[in-house]
Amino acid sequence: MLLRLLSSASRAIAAKPHPPQTLAAAAAGATSTTRKLAAMAGNREAFRVAVGNTLERRLFYVPSFKIYGGVAGLYDYGPPGCAVKANVLAFWRQHFVLEEGMLEVDCPCVTPEVVLKASGHVEKFTDLMVKDEKTGSCYRADHLLKDFCKEKLENDNTLSPQKVEELNHILAVLDDLSAEQLGTKIKEYGIAAPDTKNPLSDPYPFNLMFQTSIGPSGLSAGYMRPETAQGIFVNFKDLYYYNGNKLPFAAAQIGQAFRNEA
């Protein structure tokens, strides 16, 4: 909005001759707008919080179940939020599905375990976590190590060139470190729980999928889908047939996915 105001003021000044006092007032207004923009850029976190508070107050979204305390990461769309979401989805569908001739599917949110075993999700769709040994609070091990390395590199002027190289190398290979390697580095650097400074457990794998059972017997295991891709993949043969047994074709799906992330 501020950018629009600034550009409008500039166009108005350039459109026709103005007396000096009018030009001075317009220039002062433009300067004020520029200062507001600079203040926003200088305090991005305060601006983000202000926007979030406004959206919540206007009921674009609200924390889910907030009369019972709410749950971090769960939100409900209010009436304006639903309208924005519907418009975004309509634009997305028009641009990608209709204009590109994609094949749209709508698949269940619950996925049998056998599907996610075949895709590798049951075994590998995990984060490595560490636990505060006194309070039980959990943290992602890689995030703690990354934050430690970045903080040292940015704020510790006493680091030797060798240590700087070591920390940069850790950041470069962080995603490839095993649980044992992460645990070794956390102990080596003396990293503690960020909230309490208590010691941390060894890293352990935590599967990000929500497990459930299908049917009254409880014998058929399933998961809430972590992605919308699986439904497209398992329907490839039918979509290929629908497309006249011709390649290439593209498929799309809009829907919810569920991840039990920290």
- For 198-232, write each residue's pLDDT tens digit: 999 999 999 999 999 999 988 899 999 999 999 99
23 and 71, same domain (yes or no): no
Does the pLDDT of residue 107 top 50, yes or no?
yes
Number of domains composing the chain: 4
- Parallel/antiparallel/unpaired status of strands 251-252 and 103-104: parallel
pTM value is 0.69
131 and 190, same domain (yes or no): yes
116 and 223, same domain (yes or no): yes
pLDDT band at 45 (very low <50, low <70, confident <90, very high): confident
Does the pLDDT of residue 117 top 70, yes or no?
yes
Does the pLDDT of residue 11 top 80, yes or no?
no
154 and 250, same domain (yes or no): no
Percent of the chain surpassing pLDDT 70? 84
Nearest partner of 107 among 238, 240, 254, 249, judged by Cα? 254
96 and 112, same domain (yes or no): no
225 and 111, same domain (yes or no): yes
131 and 193, same domain (yes or no): yes
139 and 195, same domain (yes or no): yes
Q: Is residue 49 part of a domain?
A: no
Q: Domain residues for 217?
A: 104-125+208-262
Which pLDDT value is given to residue 3? 44
157 and 253, same domain (yes or no): no
Place of tokens 């636990």: 131
133 and 202, same domain (yes or no): yes
121 and 229, same domain (yes or no): yes
191 and 71, same domain (yes or no): no
158-190 residues labelled b (16+ CB within 10 A) or e (exposed) = eeeeeeeeebeebeeebeebebebbbebbeeee
Strands of 15-157 (E only): list them. 61-63, 75-77, 103-104, 110-112, 126-131, 138-140
Nearest partner of 104 among 89, 117, 116, judged by Cα? 89
